Amino acid sequence: MRFHAQYVWLDGNIVKWEDAKVHVLTHALHYGTSIFEGIRAYWTGRNLLVFRLEDHVERMFKSAKILGVKIPYTADEVRRAVIETLRANDFREDVYIRPIAFVSTPTVTLDVRTLDVSLAIIAFPFGKYLPPQGIRAAVVSWRRVHNTMLPVMAKIGGIYVNSVLALVEARSKGFDEALLMDASGYIVEGSGENIFIARGGKLYTPPTHASILEGITRDTVIKLAADWGMTVQEKPITREEVYTADEVFLVGTAAEITPVVEVDGRPIGDGRPGPTTKKLAELYARVVRGEVERYMKWVTPVYST
């Protein structure tokens, strides 16, 4: 994939895409000392709506606190910068937004406490990340990093090498996506998504203490399912429970709600997206485009109407 837009927000200024550059000795390039978010904005035909912008920016500041760095802007300034970036590019289509704060001092020291932090906001047109009709997944050999080793609740750039290795393994074997186990052998995540399974009329998802990212789309699905009247239980999920689930789906900003129709060569259910997955995906698609009144608080319009 190659992405492009006209403008990027970098350290307080809108600059041309081709001018958004950093030095080769930038600390984050060498040590992964960046924190980032993935946010989507949806074009409705009349306006561009950013989904759960406030929650994403709040999580970004929590990630910075965990890493031990300070973003040199307020949360409100970051939110305004996101809107400014989208307006500068005059997007009239669905886009993906990547705010990233990174330790920018050119140095090889490991102590980040007194180093400079830069902030960039990149946005570009973006469609479906995974096939919406269903994907084939593989449980890979790489284990999900445990939260006693690295702070996996934070979206820290360096931690995502774990996801890179997992996805490369799955794709090299002909699968669409990876499923990672934790050190105890429970299924905890995809390479960049949270996981849900449906069994016996209930939804299950790993708990936040199981070394998973506290996903915003995950939180959205839990709330939508609860409002729909469906029980959602947080519990460890075994590999066998995934194989024998009625339905499996992955959720994330990029993946949205993606059905998993096969795991390790075993069909999930009848090998097609199940009714719960389809209903939640349809509801989610309406919510993010501002079509459900009770969830309008989750969308932020970009253009004045």
Query: Catalytic positions, please?
Result: 155
Q: Tell me how many degrees the CA angle 108-63-91 measures, rounded to the nearest 5.
A: 100
Q: Is 234 exposed, middle or buried (0-12, 13-18, 19+ CB in 10 A)?
A: middle
List phi, psi (to 5°) of 83. -65, -40
Determine how β-strand 177-181 pairs with β-strand 135-143. Answer: parallel
List phi, psi (to 5°) of 221. -65, -40
What are 231's two structure tokens? 């029980």
CB atoms within 10 A of CB 294: 8
